[in-house]
Structure formats: structure tokens, C-alpha cells
Amino acid sequence: MFNKILFATSATSACDPAARVAFALAQKHNSQLLIFHVLGVPTRGYSQEVVDVRTGEKVEANDEYIAWVREEIKVHYTKQLETVPGTAIEVTVGIPHREILRKARSESPDLLVMGGTTGDREQSVYKKVMVGSTLHRVAKAAFCPVLAVARPAASFWGGFSSIVFGTDFSKAADAAFDYAFRTAKQIDGDLHLFHALDIGIPQLGGLVDQDAIEKQIREARQRIRGRYAAKMEGFKNYSIEVWEGIPYIEIVKFAREKQADLIILAHHGQPESPEDDRLSSIMEQVIVRASCPVI
């Protein structure tokens, strides 16, 4: 299922939940695992002086320092490395999202695993970078699925058996469905097709017409049946559900109710859409709040 896994990490506690998932998947599927760390961004031009994303300090990123960082990563993951022999570790210098995308293009992994935010963002340069732009930019541009693990709780799971696929009926969501369906078939698991009808937050004193909401819910269920269920001939382990509310809250609640092991979402709807920021916000909130990994 996952022959090659690329794990982009800061090699700090911020990425420990993602590391747990990356190593567990590699061990279970006998995957080739590559640990990839972007040391920092050059301070100017082609200078070797960089700001280390782990410490926030300026350092001279020469061969000796890069070798030292590689050894530090080996020490940080000592126990995990024993479970996945042959794991490769690479360290480079550059802008994180560009280097991660470049490595993903050259390695063509079946899965790219990344961490999210945990704890106090103010104490970690890497957390600011990851949540501020890197994860979004990588997820939007990568040509492979990106699995994000932000919470420690999301790393304690026993494999995939229950998958929640969240859709906004975009073309990007269609691609995400194809991946979710293939995954569910391969693991012989349950696939829950879900749409969150965004009713926003009503203004004070405003009323939401419940009949109109229920009409939209019925229409959304029909769209799911016609758009997705029709493609699953012979596959019976699926359910269809539509809830109204704030999308990221409803997705997280639904996944918790279904005891999901994995949530699969499209990063964005239409390319360069004005809704991109909104959809990215939904994705980030799901990643930060979900109690399971998110692809």
C-alpha cells in the first residue's frame, strides 16, 4: 500500500506524533522510509549562514554542522529506527516547503507525512513555519497524498479500518474520493461519506430557516449518492451522512462518532479560488483538532 514514505520532520517533540505514525506505517507495510529535515533558510543569497528552524539561532551550515544535525536526528529517533532498518536520513538547507516539494518530486513517495502544531507556537520557529505556510503549500502542490498529524492523540491508533471522507463536491474532492475508496477497498474497511453543510454563525437575533436547511441536506445526500456511491459497485461498507454547522467542527465530531482511524480531505476546491483561504482554514482546523491522522 505504501512502498515508499517520505517523513518531513523538525526532529523535535513538535513532530513526535507524526513520527510515531510514519514509523508505524513503514513497519506495518514494510515500506522504504526517508526522513527529511530542512535545516533552515539562508540569511542572504548563497550564504552558508542560516536560521536553524529547531533553535531559531543563526548557524554556519557547513558540511560539519549538517553531519552533526544528521547525527542528532539519529539520536532523537533511536528507538524508532530500530523498528525500520534501512531508514535513510537527509538534511538540507533552504525554504522548507520548496525543499520538501523538491524531494517529493525526486523520490515519488506513496505518502508524505508531516507534523502540525502542538503546544506553544511561540516557543518553536518550526511550528510557526509549518502551520503558517509550509503544510498548506506542500499539501496544495504535492503530487502525492500528504498525511498530517498534529495532536499526540492522533498518533495512537491501531491501523486503518474506518475512514471518513469529507467532500465539498469540488473536482479536488473527486480526486480525494478516488483515493479514499481505493484505500478502503485495500484495507477492507468502512468508508463514511460526509458533507458538512456550512450554515456559518447566525447573526444575533437572526433565524435560520430549518426547512431550507433540511432541503439542502436532502439534496446533498442525493449528490453524494450520484457522485460517489454510484462508483462503488460491489462495495457495501459505506455510509452517507450530511450535517449542518461549521464544517471543521462537524467533520471532527463526525469522525469521533464513527471512531475513524483516518480523515481524507481535498486541500482546496477550485484552483486560485477566492475560497482557498477559507478551505485552507477548514483543513488546518481539522488537522489541529482531529483525534486521528488526516490525509
Kindly state the average pLDDT of the residues 86-102: 93
224-248 tens-digit pLDDT: 999 999 999 999 999 999 999 999 9
Label residue 31 exposed, middle or buried (CB < 10 Å: 0-12, 13-18, 19+): buried
In this predicted structure, what is the pLDDT of residue 44? Answer: 63
Kindly state the average pLDDT of the residues 72-101: 93
In this predicted structure, what is the pLDDT of residue 206? Answer: 56
Residue 151 confidence (pLDDT) above 90: no
Whether this prediction's pTM lies above 0.95 is answered by no
167-183 tens-digit pLDDT: 999 999 999 999 999 99
DSSP for 149-166, please give it. Answer: E-SGGGG---S-SEEEEE
97-120 tens-digit pLDDT: 999 999 999 999 999 999 865 344
In this predicted structure, what is the pLDDT of residue 45? Answer: 58
Query: Binning pLDDT at 50, 70 and 90, where does residue 130 land?
Result: very low
Greater pLDDT, 139 or 133: 139
Query: Binning pLDDT at 50, 70 and 90, where does residue 125 land?
Result: very low
In this predicted structure, what is the pLDDT of residue 209? Answer: 83
- Residues 42 and 269: their CA atoms lie apart, in Å, by 34
In this predicted structure, what is the pLDDT of residue 207? Answer: 63
Query: Binning pLDDT at 50, 70 and 90, where does residue 280 land?
Result: low
Query: Quick count: other Cβ atoms within 10 Å of Cβ 286?
Result: 22
Pair 196, 283: CB distance under 8 Å: no
Q: Is 10 helix (H, G, I), strand (E, B) or coil?
A: coil
In this predicted structure, what is the pLDDT of residue 4? Answer: 97
Query: Quick count: other Cβ atoms within 10 Å of Cβ 165?
Result: 27
7-63 tens-digit pLDDT: 999 888 888 999 999 999 999 899 999 999 998 777 665 567 777 776 777 888 788
186-196 tens-digit pLDDT: 989 999 999 99
Burial 57-80 (b: 16+ CB within 10 A, else e): eebebeeebbeebbeebeebbeeb
- Residues 155 and 208: their CA atoms lie apart, in Å, by 38
- What are the distances in angstroms from CA 273 to CA 165, 198, 281? 22, 17, 14
The mean pLDDT value of the chain amounts to: 85
Say what percent of the chain tops pLDDT 70.
Answer: 84
